Amino acid sequence: MTATFTIAIDGPAGAGKGTLARRLADHYRLNLLDTGLTYRAVAHALIQHALPLDNVSAAETAARQVDMAKLDRAVLSAHAIGEAASKVAVYPTVRRILVEKQRAFARTPPGAVLDGRDIGTVVCPDADIKLYVTASAEVRAKRRLAEIESIGGTANFAEILADIVRRDERDMGRADSPLKPAADAHLLDTSEMAIEAAFLAAMAIVDDALARRNKA
């Protein structure tokens, strides 16, 4: 039996994997890592120093300096940083540095829920559970618009949708560690599923794996 328990969650931006990851980590008392924040931290460092996003050696330095204990969601969650993160995430050397840090996090007892794009395929290929969370681009764009409007902002649906489609293409189309479901991932399509239903479905999958593990 492995000492730690790992739940890997992958999927495109806005599919609900972050909320699901938080719910599962709370419920099973596991550590939680939103790996997108690590790529965002690299992009943020470059932007802060007014460096171009294709300055690979500066991105590598920024990746080495990422402190997993100091990932500040309030600062890193800006939409523009997400876009920039998707651009720096194409560089294999940057990925390698961040993946090492993510693996060390996953190995820390009692284990972790990690969410991102390549967790089940590259970061934790031996994860106890792999989930691939998707939703149609239209549904994700509607959710994003509702989120912006709920905090008093305004946005254009067509622009949000175009943004989402562009980000999907970049994340799924890159040569190194593209977003795709691991062969052994459970697929959860949240297009017509509330987050609570997705959480219950995921819990059933995890409980089943835990029961089998305890019997073994």
Residues contributing to the site for ligand DC (CB under 6 A): 13, 35-36, 39-40, 82, 85-86, 89, 116-118, 167, 171
For residue 22, the minimal CB distance to ligand DC (Å) is 13
Q: Minimum distance between the CB of residue 201 and ligand DC, rounded to whole angstroms?
A: 21
Q: Which is nearer to ligand DC, 187 or 200 (by Cβ)? A: 187
By three-state DSSP, how is residue 149 classified? helix
Q: Which is nearer to ligand DC, 111 or 116 (CB)?
A: 116
Q: Which of 26, 28, 22, 35 lies closest to 5 in space, CA to CA? A: 28
- For residue 89, the minimal CB distance to ligand DC (Å) is 3
| Closest distance of CB 212 from ligand DC, Å | 27
Sign of the CA dihedral running 33, 141, 193, 195: positive
Shortest gap between Cβ of 199 and ligand DC (angstroms)? 19
Strands 5-10 and 31-34: unpaired
Closer residue to ligand DC, CB minimum distance, 165 or 210: 165
Which tokens in the block code for residue 101?
Answer: 């840090």
> In the complex with ligand DC, which residue's Cβ is closer, 48 or 211?
48
**CB nearer ligand DC, residue 117 or residue 130:** 117
* Cβ atoms 138, 49 nearer than 8 A: no
Rounded Cα gap, residues 149 and 153, in angstroms:
5
Quote the Cα angle for 121-182-103, to 5°.
25
How does strand 186-189 pair with strand 111-116? unpaired
